[in-house]
């Protein structure tokens, strides 16, 4: 038990999927895991552990933004011995070639700032995904026939962005999409020797203004969860 996670020793699996929304964690656990059980509900941040094809899996919410993600990633790794952490979430597309419902597998995650910046000080550390997870995720996505993009994403500090000039530079430099958590997940995992990956569904688009209708999200997000699970146990 930690300050933010009430799970008992042994309740958290070595493989953890991390959606931002705790209710998406509940949906994913009930949809994809066998015999899921609630292992955490401190502060409303739900976590469930069950099995997938005989493998123990925890699906635990991370909250919105890198500070919240950092709390849960640190405690899951340091206090519960999590070895593989995969963010599953939505993102905004930033390239014409990226479409709504496409999946982005994040090779790198750029940011203006992260909670880890105080450690790095003057160093511009380049957080990146675990190669074995990334390779397996791409293979799983292609096998499912899901349109997939692999490359850099942008982890933003804020949701209501007032920097169109920065977005323009992200697009100019090939950034595929924007979200709010992956950069810090990659930092924390690197620091503690864990594997990390972000698998993201494009739910809206900064260039076109398109957005995925709410009734269509479940199927699209389902592909993302399956890809994440298959990559973890490839």
- Binding site as annotated, residues for a purine D-ribonucleoside: 4, 179-181, 203-204
Q: What residues are designated binding site?
A: 4, 20, 24, 43, 87-90, 179-181, 203-204
Q: Please calculate the CA angle 23-133-52 and round it to the nearest 5 degrees.
A: 50
Radius of gyration of the chain measured on its C-alpha atoms: 16
| Candidate list 21, 56, 157, 204, residue with the active-site label | 204
* Paired strand residues for 205: 93
- CA atoms of 177 and 151, how far apart (whole Å): 9
Q: Is 201 left (phi over 0), alpha (psi -120 to 50) or beta?
A: beta
> Catalytic: 79?
no
Q: What residues are designated binding site for phosphate?
A: 20, 24, 43, 87-90
Q: Which of 16, 234, 31 lies closest to 138 in space, CA to CA?
A: 234
Phi, psi dihedral angles at 127 (to 5 degrees):
-75, 135
Residues that are catalytic: 204
């Amino acid at each position: 038990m930690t300050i933010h996670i009430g799970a008992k020793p042994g309740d958290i699996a070595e493989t953890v999927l991390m959606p931002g929304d705790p209710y998406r964690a509940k949906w994913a656990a009930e949809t994809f895991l066998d015999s899921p059980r609630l292992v955490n509900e401190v502060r409303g941040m739900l976590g469930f552990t069950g099995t997938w094809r005989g493998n123990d899996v925890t699906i635990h919410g991370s909250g919105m933004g890198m500070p919240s993600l950092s709390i849960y990633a640190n405690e899951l790794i340091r206090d519960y011995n999590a070895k593989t952490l995969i963010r599953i979430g939505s993102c905004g597309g930033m390239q014409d070639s990226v479409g709504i419902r496409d999946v982005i597998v994040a090779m790198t995650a750029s940011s203006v700032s992260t909670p880890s910046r105080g450690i790095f000080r003057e160093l511009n550390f380049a957080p990146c995904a675990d190669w074995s997870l990334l390779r397996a995720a791409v293979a799983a996505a292609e096998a499912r026939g899901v349109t997939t993009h692999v490359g850099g994403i942008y982890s933003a500090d804020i949701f209501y962005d007032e920097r169109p000039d920065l977005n323009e530079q992200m697009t100019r430099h090939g950034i595929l999409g924007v979200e709010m958590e992956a950069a810090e997940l990659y930092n924390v995992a690197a620091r503690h020797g864990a594997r990390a990956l972000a698998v993201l569904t494009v739910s809206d688009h900064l260039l076109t203004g398109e957005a995925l209708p709410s009734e269509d999200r479940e199927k699209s997000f389902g592909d993302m969860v399956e890809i994440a699970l298959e990559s973890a146990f490839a």
